Chain A
Amino acid sequence: MSDAILKIKNLKIEFKSGKETVQPIRGVNFELKKGETLGVVGESGSGKSVTSLAIMGLLPERTSKIVDGEINFKGNDITNLKEKQYRKIRGNEISMIFQEPMTSLNPVFTIGQQLSEPLRQHRNMSKKEIEKAVINVLNQVGIPRAEQIINEYPHQLSGGMRQRVMISLALLCEPDLMIADEPTTALDVTIQAQILELMKNIKQENDMSLLLITHDLGVVAEMCDRVVVMYAGEIVEVAEINELFNEPLHPYTRGLIDSMPTQNTRKERLYSIRGQVPRPNEITKGCVFANRCPLAFSKCFEETPPVFARDDHLSKCWLQNTKEGEVV
């Protein structure tokens, strides 16, 4: 069993907006093993992006705060790292691909200028060497005419090309961990498949660990070794990929799987989980999913379930209540 490269322990994050304080991340625990692809799934608003920004140390400074818990990267607690030290990690040991390729590149700098930046910050290389490395990595992500592209501006590239540029930006310093926050959501389907394929190959070639955030279980099935299911700022289930699809334990996960469109069967109507993810300020006692859960019983509305374990398969649901499995 390989070591964990990233451990998130009981992470709690607070946001201040005006006088009100909300906690969109409430006690999140998971581990990412070395060389693994871990998927994080959940509906919009479940806290996937906030979690990944916390790992990057990029939460908005003034309005948010990690109030409890630990982010441990390669054995070091990086939760309260000074900005100066965090900067040495960003783009170097941990890099991130963002949700929005159209707006994530600076419109007034060339691709080459922007791609030089991580190497400039983290490596001692001459201009010539940097340019060579940039062209190299652009070739690696399958961008044609890399020598010309480095002199072009973002608006001259298509969405798919921009996301390839973002991937190459994340790759430049050969990070140990890459976080991809819905890297394909903004792209059309054929491009999505290409980008996913590319990420798969690149992960293997570069011996990285990948944290893949998505709300698309199809993407998870395609890419991941293990999956973390997030709901309203909590983790409700963690399982190995096949196990998750064969035997989902949490009703929320089942709902997600049932609402997947499949290519072979034409259902009359797609299943959908009724209701919506509660906003952080709407959360009360009991299980966070209780109000939408088809199987909820009285206890679900009264007490927050602990985490139950069946070997490596974790779930946070009273239906799994067997005293010996409880890990809390």
Chain B
Amino acid sequence: MLDFVIKRFLQVIVVVFLALTVVFFLIRLAGDPTTLFLPPDAPREQIEEYRELLGYNRPLYVQYGDFMYNAIQGDFGESLRSQEDALGIVLDRLPATFQLAITSLILALFIAIPLGVLSAYKRNTVFDRIGVGLTVVGQAVPSFWLGLILIFLFAAQLQLLPSGGGGTPVHMILPTLTLAAYSVARFTRFTRSAMLDVLQKDYIRTAKASGVPTMRLIMRYALRNSLIPIITLVALDLGVLLGGAVITEAVFSWPGVGRLLWQSLMNRDFPIVLAGVFIIALIYAIINFVADILYAYVNPQIRVK
């Protein structure tokens, strides 16, 4: 088990390293940011001076080496706009993103798992068919569209909820619903198919043959087996929720990392973009790391060799 943990941990480091490398070169393709910070008619010498100051005139591989060397020490440079520590700015926004993602995830799980189990148990009934239909719709609806619809309904028309901003629990309701909708649909479908798969297994027949009542059969024997794939999916989706909250955060002006990343990208504030990518990649990798360990925990075939 320890071997397994160490190996997976090394993978976390590799993933983060690769993510930073890819993003570093990708944003350089978009050009360097100096022109954005100077007036359009700035003289050549001034641009050159500014580039030299920021180090953008050096060869790309030198810049990359320099960046990595500093990044390893947790130094992503200063924001080009506010001259504050880039990593610090990102970390300040992190709690808001976590708050939104975790709340959505919990909400989604509480709705999706019982719904998926019930749907599998009542497979091919009217209930199941309606459920499956809704999940298909739920997965197909883009989150920005759902977000706008919700704003239109609850903020503009009914004037029940604020359309954006952060701080109070009331502000969370719409973005949480928006972010959770997709996950509810996805987890419900997945739980249903995982349960259906497990319910026709030989060992379920064995349990039935031992006289186990239906409820116990489903809630204890079948659900435990289904949790193995569900945990993996949820873990993957938590990463998506965290990173992919970008659009939802933008729609609802939710002050999280997603919105910050989006704004910084627009401004070519590279240090913040890289610090943001670093944090999201790190979280994504750590979540998968934890998921694998959880997975090993519920699946003794991995845990006990």
Residues in A whose Cβ lies below 8 Å from that of B124: 62
Give Cα distance in the complex from A91 to B214, angstroms: 15
Within 196-246 of B, Cβ neighbours of A (below 8 Å) are at: 201-214, 221, 224-225, 228
Find out whether the CB atom of B203 lies under 8 angstroms from the CB atom of A83.
no
- Interface 0/1 of A152-174, CB less than 8 Å to B: 11011000000000100100000
Query: What are 19 contact pairs spanning A and B, CB under 8 A?
Result: A58-B208, A87-B213, A88-B211, A91-B209, A91-B210, A100-B202, A104-B202, A105-B206, A107-B225, A107-B301, A109-B224, A114-B207, A114-B210, A117-B212, A121-B211, A152-B304, A153-B301, A155-B301, A155-B304
Q: Flag whether A238 is at the interface (Cβ < 8 A).
A: no
Q: Flag whether B59 is at the interface (Cβ < 8 A).
A: no
- Interface 0/1 of A213-252, CB less than 8 Å to B: 0000000000000000000000000000000000000000
Interface contact tally, CB-CB below 8 A = 80
Q: Flag whether A108 is at the interface (Cβ < 8 A).
A: yes
- Mark A residues whose CB is within 8 Å of B: 56, 58, 62, 83, 87-92, 95-96, 98, 100, 103-109, 114, 117-118, 121-122, 152-153, 155-156, 166, 169
- Tell me how far the C-beta of B195 lies from the nearest C-beta in chain A, rounded to whole angstroms: 14
Give Cα distance in the complex from A56 to B207, angstroms: 12
Residues in B whose Cβ lies below 8 Å from that of A152: 304
Q: Flag whether B300 is at the interface (Cβ < 8 A).
A: yes
Q: Flag whether B298 is at the interface (Cβ < 8 A).
A: yes
Q: Flag whether B299 is at the interface (Cβ < 8 A).
A: yes
Within 262-305 of B, Cβ neighbours of A (below 8 Å) are at: 298-301, 304
Find out whether the CB atom of A121 lies under 8 angstroms from the CB atom of B205.
no
Further pairs besides A114-B210, A153-B304: 4, Cβ < 8 Å: A88-B211, A95-B209, A95-B210, A104-B205
Find out whether the CB atom of B203 lies under 8 angstroms from the CB atom of A103.
yes
Find out whether the CB atom of B207 lies under 8 angstroms from the CB atom of A106.
yes
Residues in B whose Cβ lies below 8 Å from that of A88: 211
Residues in B whose Cβ lies below 8 Å from that of A105: 203, 206
Within 8-55 of B, Cβ neighbours of A (below 8 Å) are at: none
Residues in A whose Cβ lies below 8 Å from that of B206: 98, 104-106, 114, 166, 169
Given A108-B228, A109-B224, A153-B301, do A103 and B212 touch, yes or no (CB 8 Å)?
no
Give Cα distance in the complex from A99 to B223, angstroms: 24
List 8 tightest A-B contacts by C-beta distance, closest first. Answer: A91-B210, A91-B211, A106-B203, A103-B202, A121-B211, A153-B300, A90-B211, A118-B210
Residues in B whose Cβ lies below 8 Å from that of A89: 211
* Complex: chain B residue closest to A100, CB-CB: B202
Given A62-B124, A103-B201, do A108 and B300 touch, yes or no (CB 8 Å)?
yes
